[in-house]
């Protein structure tokens, strides 16, 4: 006789795991110590709902335009986004705080720079007084950094500085020494701020070199002043520390005392000021870091980065890099790091980071990832509209809770943000799905699913469920649905189902915003007589 039992199927909060046998879908320890499921497929879903503050699964949040219009008024990529905190500026600042802090958004498109504050409905273009039209490279990704309430840009050709007092762009020219250029007049492509210095690197013909301004003065690049001090400008080829032993691909200011240099196949660390007894050491030769901003930092000081050997790594301060993407390695193996713009940004509200992997030649299909720290869980993110794929991303940290959002710069010239109230990607439906299972007998008996009852969130949209079954887990995943139906918000009536197989899955899918509380099933085994096909030798 079949032995029926009632089971609660919880959402696979441990996320994707595609690196083991189909029939070995592992569990992981959850944030409360309990063990939670992984899944073979989870697209546009999350295991935690920060909008409701609930540990339940469902569809991801949508995207909303920050401004109703494109930056330049026409379709062209957003090249750079940066948050700029200041108490002064020519752009009207409606939103005030007791400290006077206003967080400006700086965006670049067509080589033109636009500025806005949280209450603006459209950005203001900065006055271009550089003598070049446009001020920055017309296309291509660039970088910028904030120093002394000004923003400094480097794009491989131009050096430009933005001043909020006059809302003006001017040439970034050294008053002492000169800004770095190689023997073919290429400028730096990597820039950051560390220990009060502007740090530059990424020259095409001088790729192992690094350059730092004087402390507190981004206009002083004099490496051999008449009177030497510990705050002078310094560079790799003018310092006892020397050059980086690899092509520099990333600059990562971890703390005021630690600066990581990502390389093509190595990682180096600078500890202490290079003009005051600092040292330069090899951290790892296991992997390099993808070019640009293929890294982010969590609130505890851990660095996360996308390696030149495709994979995601965690670098604890003072430690060695450790790979954290084993569960999705098969999905990352074919990434072309030379033709993909890799962006990473930490999301405080969702307690994890976004990994954006966007082809660099034209709007095209792309798969991105979200990693949730609570459960070490990976989930895939796919945008139906290829124009929504990000070329740059930042965490914007305004004063108002609604202004603390993840911003993405897109192919079509719009800036969008992850909106916890949005049910679509800027009016484009979000197709989400997740696979729960496999349900297997420990002795490989054939299983019989007889009932299913779903409980969704009270405001959830409709969800389609499908029952997949087969002789093996791999066969079941690839099979057509044996039974299909619809679940609505709240508690649903029990659905009579009669599906048998050695492996059974429940797949949920929807184009609505939805959240799952639980799914209760009745499952039985069909006994030892069903373990083998008739006529199979013992």
Are 446 and 463 found together in one domain? Answer: yes
Are 415 and 442 found together in one domain? Answer: no
Residue 178 has pLDDT above 90, yes or no: yes
Residue 531 has pLDDT above 90, yes or no: no
pLDDT the model gives residue 52: 79
Judge whether 308 and 292 are in contact, CB under 8 Å: no
Asked if residue 174 is part of any domain, the answer here is no
Asked if residue 391 is part of any domain, the answer here is yes
Residue 94 has pLDDT above 90, yes or no: no
Give strand pairing partners of 106.
82, 115
**DSSP 8-state assignment for residue 329:** H
Handedness of CA 176, 181, 182, 185 (dihedral sign): negative
Are 392 and 471 found together in one domain? Answer: no
Asked if residue 328 is part of any domain, the answer here is yes
Are 387 and 442 found together in one domain? Answer: no
> Measured between alpha carbons, how far is 438 from 474 in angstroms, rounded to an integer?
9
The residue behind tokens 């200041």 is 86
Which of 388, 419, 450 represents a domain boundary (last residue)?
Answer: 419
CB proximity list for 65: less than 8 A, separation 6 or greater: 414, 415, 416, 426
Domain hosting residue 483, numbered range: 3-61+436-530
> Measured between alpha carbons, how far is 36 from 197 in angstroms, rounded to an integer?
46
Judge whether 60 and 46 are in contact, CB under 8 Å: yes
pLDDT the model gives residue 87: 65
Judge whether 455 and 492 are in contact, CB under 8 Å: yes
Which of 392, 419, 446 represents a domain boundary (last residue)?
Answer: 419
Pick from 342, 341, 344: which is nearest to 394 by CA?
344
Q: Average of pLDDT values for 260-285? A: 97
Q: Average of pLDDT values for 498-509? A: 96
Are 384 and 444 found together in one domain? Answer: no
Asked if residue 510 is part of any domain, the answer here is yes
Q: Average of pLDDT values for 493-499? A: 95
Q: Average of pLDDT values for 33-41? A: 88
Are 447 and 400 found together in one domain? Answer: no
Asked if residue 40 is part of any domain, the answer here is yes
Q: For the segment 396-423, what is each residue's pLDDT rounded down to a tens digit?
A: 987 777 778 999 999 999 999 999 999 9
Are 72 and 45 found together in one domain? Answer: no
Which of 385, 419, 453 represents a domain boundary (last residue)?
Answer: 419
Q: What are phi and psi of 227, to 5 degrees?
A: -115, 120
> Measured between alpha carbons, how far is 362 from 357 in angstroms, rounded to an integer?
13
Are 358 and 457 found together in one domain? Answer: no
Residue 497 has pLDDT above 60, yes or no: yes
The CATH number for 25's domain is 2.60.120
Asked if residue 413 is part of any domain, the answer here is yes
Give the tokens for residue 532.
Answer: 């083998």
Are 51 and 73 found together in one domain? Answer: no
Cα-based distances in Å from 296 to 45, 253, 289, 338: 22, 10, 12, 20
Are 330 and 399 found together in one domain? Answer: yes
Asked if residue 447 is part of any domain, the answer here is yes
CB atoms inside a 10 Å sphere around CB 432: 25
Percentage of the chain modeled with pLDDT above 70:
94
Are 404 and 477 found together in one domain? Answer: no
Residue 102 has pLDDT above 90, yes or no: no
User: In residues, how long is the chain?
Assistant: 538
Q: Which of 17-21, 364-368, 396-400 has the lowest mean pLDDT?
A: 396-400
pTM across the whole model = 0.94
Pick from 184, 242, 255: which is nearest to 210 by CA?
242
Residue 277 has pLDDT above 90, yes or no: yes
Asked if residue 339 is part of any domain, the answer here is yes
Are 305 and 389 found together in one domain? Answer: yes
Number of domains in the chain: 2
């Amino acid at each position: 006789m079949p032995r029926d039992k009632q089971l609660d199927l919880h959402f696979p909060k441990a996320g994707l795991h595609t690196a083991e046998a189909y029939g070995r879908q592992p569990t992981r320890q959850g944030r409360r110590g309990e063990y939670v499921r992984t899944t073979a497929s989870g697209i546009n879903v999350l295991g935690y709902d920060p909008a409701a503050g609930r540990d339940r699964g469902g569809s991801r949040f949508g995207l909303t335009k920050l401004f109703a219009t494109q930056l330049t008024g026409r379709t062209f990529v957003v090249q750079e986004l940066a948050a700029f905190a200041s108490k002064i500026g020519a752009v009207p600042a409606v939103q005030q705080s007791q400290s006077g802090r206003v967080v400006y958004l700086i965006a670049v498109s067509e080589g033109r720079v636009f500025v806005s504050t949280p209450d603006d409905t459209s950005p203001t273009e900065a006055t271009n007084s550089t003598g070049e039209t446009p001020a920055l490279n017309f296309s291509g990704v660039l970088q910028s950094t904030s120093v002394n309430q000004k923003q400094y840009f480097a794009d491989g050709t131009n050096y430009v500085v933005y001043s909020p007092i006059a809302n003006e762009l001017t040439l970034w020219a050294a008053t002492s020494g000169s800004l770095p250029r190689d023997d073919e007049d290429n400028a730096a492509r990597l820039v950051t701020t560390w220990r009060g210095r502007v740090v530059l690197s990424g020259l095409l013909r001088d790729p192992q070199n690094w350059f730092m301004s004087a402390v507190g003065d981004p206009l002083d690049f004099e490496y051999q002043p008449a009177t030497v001090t510990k705050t002078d400008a310094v560079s790799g080829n003018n310092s006892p520390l020397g050059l980086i032993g690899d092509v520099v691909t990333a600059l990562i200011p971890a703390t005021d005392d630690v600066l990581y240099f990502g390389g093509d196949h190595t990682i180096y660390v600078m500890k202490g000021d290079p003009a005051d007894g600092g040292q330069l050491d090899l951290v790892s030769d296991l992997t390099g870091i993808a070019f640009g901003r293929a890294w982010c930092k969590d609130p505890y000081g851990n660095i996360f980065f996308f390696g030149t050997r495709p994979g995601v790594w965690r670098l604890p301060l003072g430690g060695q890099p450790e790979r954290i993407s084993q569960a999705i390695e098969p999905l990352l193996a074919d990434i072309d790091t030379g033709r993909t713009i890799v962006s990473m940004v930490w999301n405080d509200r969702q307690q994890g980071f976004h990994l954006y992997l966007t082809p660099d030649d034209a709007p095209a299909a792309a798969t991105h990832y979200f990693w949730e720290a609570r459960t070490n869980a990976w989930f895939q993110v796919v945008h139906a509209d290829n124009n929504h794929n990000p070329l740059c991303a930042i965490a914007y940290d305004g004063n108002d809770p609604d202004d603390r959002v993840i911003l993405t710069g897109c192919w079509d010239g719009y800036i969008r943000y992850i909106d916890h109230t949005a049910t679509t990607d800027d009016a484009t439906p979000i197709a989400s799905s997740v696979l729960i299972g496999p349900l297997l007998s420990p002795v490989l008996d054939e299983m019989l699913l007889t009932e299913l009852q779903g409980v969704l969130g009270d405001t959830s949209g409709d969800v389609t469920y499908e029952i997949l079954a087969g002789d093996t887990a791999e066969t079941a995943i690839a099979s057509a649905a044996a039974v299909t139906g619809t679940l609505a918000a709240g508690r649903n009536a029990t659905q009579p189902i009669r599906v048998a197989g050695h492996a059974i899955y429940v797949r949920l899918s929807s184009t609505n915003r939805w959240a799952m509380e639980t799914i209760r099933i009745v499952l039985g085994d069909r006994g030892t007589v069903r373990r083998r096909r008739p006529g199979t030798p013992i």
